[in-house]
Amino acid sequence: MTQEIAIIGAGMHPWGKWGRKFVEYGVEAAREALADAGINWRDVDFVSGAATMRCGYPGYVAGATFAQALGWQGAEVNTSYAACASGSQALAAARAKILAGQAEVALVIGADTTPKGFLAPAKGERPDDPDWVRFRVGITNPTYFALYARRRMEIYGDTQEDFARVKVKNAAHGFTNPKARYRKQFTMEDVAGSAMVADPLRLMDVCATSDGGAALIVCSLDYAKKIGKANAPRVAAISTVTPTFASAVIEMPDLATDSAVVADAQSFRAALPKKAYEEAGIGPEDVSVAEVYDLSTALELDWMEDLQLCARGDAAKLLRDGATKIGGRIPVNPSGGLACFGEAVPAQAIAQVCELTWQLRGQSGDRQVEGAKVGITANQGLFGHGSSVILKR
């Protein structure tokens, strides 16, 4: 049985800080995706939403919320939550539904409105809550990314300039992307001049949070053929594996890794694309373009190695050589990445797939990766969530 489905529509509401409701971003993205696919909303028989935990009950039931906003028409519905991987989980749910023959056309959708100001933990003494505990002892979010970044410097000899290079490259990529929030060609000096947040990471090394919405219309290969879109990009693999005990990398919000006294230490990030390559039956050498989760600049380098685009420790060299720029051997984050978007959690993994869809169709204009045939995404959320999606044409 084929494991492929077609992507016939992609749509995004531009990222930013718009101050509107997440439902509006999602509906606009959905309408763009429906128009792109050239189908009617009533043709959708499965709505797969990625939840947001920030917008009350409508966010918890995002699938139903979007279905109602677009107009109840009896479609089946699903709402997935998997932190940063929520969008991929929603796509995975739609794929399984289609491959099982229970739906022909699905809408995959996620949107978020970020809160104003700092996202503070709930009040009170809550020593049972790992998130409360780590904040109480002074371990903030950037800590984790900074520890990974510093580890690269200590082990591979990466420098802060290397990290800044990631930012400069992604800023150049996203400069002309109409969906991106930050469109400025930052320089090495801009990055070096920004305030240190968590050594070695500066403000411009870490990504912001944004409002945004993204949507995909996916369908069976038969349906795509029927409506004259047999050549649409296809989803060739989705990996949503969980970690394997003993998980060796310290993850937000934990204060400790698993103990590896009775089971070998395992790398979760590396396991994600590994499963995707196996499922797609291809290897890293086949990849034309990658969209990875640059929550920090340094993390993009980790992902390059986890995706096996280079050997461990070689990512900074690839970057310095220009291999990951558009026009290089293996462009990474042609969209501009999180550096230019800022994360809109439930929409972000879907936005990665939107970008690859446009790349594989050759519709990316100034940021087009010439001849892109295979694209891969990677991201990692909290609590053992992560994903890697492979598209091909």
Partner 1 sequence: MSDELKPVLEGFFTTGDKPALLGSRCTKCGTYYFPKLEGFCRNPDCDCSQFESVELSRTGTLWSFTNACYKPPEPYVAAEPFEPYAIAAVELDKEKMVILGQVVAGVGVDQLKAGLPMELVVESIPDLVEPAGKLVWKWKPMTEGGAA
**Hey, what are 54's tokens?**
């920030």
| Of residues 261-280, those binding partner 1 (CB under 8 A) | 261-263, 265
Cα(233)–Cα(359) distance, integer angstroms: 10
Which residues in this chain contact its own copies in the complex, by CB under 8 A? 1, 3, 47, 51, 53, 56-58, 60-61, 63-65, 67-68, 71-83, 89, 92-93, 95-97, 99-102, 129, 131, 239-245, 247, 258, 271, 382-385
Which partner in partner 1, its own copies, none is near 190 (CB below 5 to 8 A by kind)?
none
For the chain, the farthest-separated pair of C-alpha atoms sits apart, in whole angstroms, at: 60
Residue at token pair 């990631």: 166
Cα(305)–Cα(102) distance, integer angstroms: 37
Residue at token pair 């998980």: 247
| Of residues 132-151, those binding partner 1 (CB under 8 A) | 132-140, 142-143, 146-151
Cα(370)–Cα(375) distance, integer angstroms: 12
Contact predicate 286/374, CB 8 Å: yes
Residue from 31, 275, 317, 361 touching partner 1 (CB under 8 A): that is: 31
Which partner in partner 1, its own copies, none is near 221 (CB below 5 to 8 A by kind)?
none
**Please, what is the minimum distance in Å from the beta carbon of residue 56 to partner 1?**
15
Helix 22-37 × helix 345-361 angle, to 10°? 20
Which partner in partner 1, its own copies, none is near 19 (CB below 5 to 8 A by kind)?
none
Cα(366)–Cα(363) distance, integer angstroms: 9
Q: Which is nearer to its own copies, 348 or 368 (CB)?
A: 348
- Cα-Cα-Cα-Cα dihedral of 391, 82, 15, 369, to 10°? -20
Which partner in partner 1, its own copies, none is near 135 (CB below 5 to 8 A by kind)?
partner 1
Task: Give the CA distances from residue 250 to residues 88, 122, 166, 261, in Å, rounded to whole numbers and listed in that order.
Answer: 23, 23, 23, 16
**Please, what is the minimum distance in Å from the beta carbon of residue 377 to its own copies?**
16
Which partner in partner 1, its own copies, none is near 196 (CB below 5 to 8 A by kind)?
partner 1
- Residue 181 burial (CB < 10 Å; 0-12/13-18/19+)? buried
Is position 76 an interface residue for partner 1 (rule: CB under 8 A)? no
Residues contacting 119, CB < 8 A, separation 6+: 209
Which partner in its own copies, partner 1, none is near 79 (CB below 5 to 8 A by kind)?
its own copies
Q: Which is nearer to partner 1, 227 or 265 (CB)?
A: 265
Q: Which is nearer to partner 1, 163 or 277 (CB)?
A: 163
Helix 160-174 × helix 297-306 angle, to 10°? 90
Q: Which is nearer to its own copies, 1 or 120 (CB)?
A: 1
Q: Which is nearer to partner 1, 73 or 363 (CB)?
A: 73
Contact predicate 108/94, CB 8 Å: yes
| Of residues 315-374, those binding partner 1 (CB under 8 A) | none
Listed ranges 49-57, 83-91, 250-258, 295-303: which one lies at the site for partner 1 (CB under 8 A): 250-258
Cα(209)–Cα(343) distance, integer angstroms: 5
**Please, what is the minimum distance in Å from the beta carbon of residue 111 to partner 1?**
12
Which partner in its own copies, partner 1, none is near 177 (CB below 5 to 8 A by kind)?
none
Residues found near partner 1 in the complex (CB under 8 A): 21, 23-24, 27, 31, 41-42, 68-73, 118-121, 123, 125, 127, 130, 132-140, 142-143, 146-151, 154-155, 195-201, 245-246, 248, 250, 255-263, 265
